[in-house]
Structure 1
Amino acid sequence: MNEIVVAPIELEEVAYEPTAGDPLIKRNLSMLGHVTVRLDVVLGAAEMNVEKLFGLGKGDTVTLDTHLDAPVILQLDGKSIARGQLMAVGDSFGLKITEIL
């Protein structure tokens, strides 16, 4: 029987401090540039019991745990990658990135 040996490796840690205008990822993306990903913007959250949830109707308000001026979170696959401010872009919402996480 062949025995598989797994040995730990040490990776060099490199510090990267993005400056204004730097892209989120600095790499040659020629092989991945065409891949589409989905980004989600998280405004906040709310907690309520099931009775109240099932009682919600048209016109009801759900209060979020976020202040009006607090930054929103940009997520990629559920992982927070940036913070920003909501903006109007024509007839749509947009996100002005203020911090890369």
Structure 2
Amino acid sequence: MADLGLEDFEDTGPSGGHDDDGDKAAADLAPVFDVPVNISAVLGKSYMSVSQLLKLGAGSVLELDRKVGEAIDIYVNNRLVARGEVVVVDDRLGVTMTEIIKSEDSNS
């Protein structure tokens, strides 16, 4: 997957993408571009006792709390921000975001 900078995204503001204030706002964000964040794509969860965990080995099947085809949760710094689908990109797994979660909805 390619690294994308802010300039790779089209501005869809009310002025049609030619807003000098938008360019200024993007420049104001420059100090945070290199701040690392932890991104997790959670396929599902499972709860078990330590004794059950110790019985797992190669070939064991771990049942998750999701159904086949159900969206996965995408977390940034342990905060739910989106849901998406698993995709394959050049023999690697990736995630396509299908829904952005508003901050007031992410407390679930």
TM-score (norm 2): 0.65
Equivalent residue for 1:94? 94
Structure 1 moving runs of 4+ over 6 Å? none
Find the aligned partners of 2:37 and 2:47 in 1 and give their Cα distance: 29
**CA deviation map 1:14-61 (0-9, x unaligned):** xxxxxxx97xxx953212112222201011001122221111111111
Read off the aligned partner of 2:99 and give its amino acid letter.
Answer: E
Percent identity between the two aligned chains:
29
Equivalent residue for 1:39? 39
Find the aligned partners of 1:97 and 1:42 in 2 and give their Cα distance: 13
1:21-100 to 2 correspondences below 5 Å:
28=26, 29-100=29-100
Total equivalences in the alignment: 78
TM-score (norm 1): 0.69
Equivalent residue for 1:13? none
Bigger share in helix: 2
- What SS is found at the alignment partner of 2:31? coil
- What SS is found at the alignment partner of 1:31? helix
- What SS is found at the alignment partner of 2:63? coil
Q: For structure 2, which runs of at least 5 residues remain unmatched after alignment?
A: 1-10, 13-21, 102-108
Name which one, 1 or 2, has greater alpha-carbon Rg: 1
Find the aligned partners of 1:82 and 1:93 in 2 and give their Cα distance: 17
Read off the aligned partner of 2:39 and give its amino acid letter.
Answer: L
- What SS is found at the alignment partner of 1:82? strand
Find the aligned partners of 1:49 and 1:30 in 2 and give their Cα distance: 46
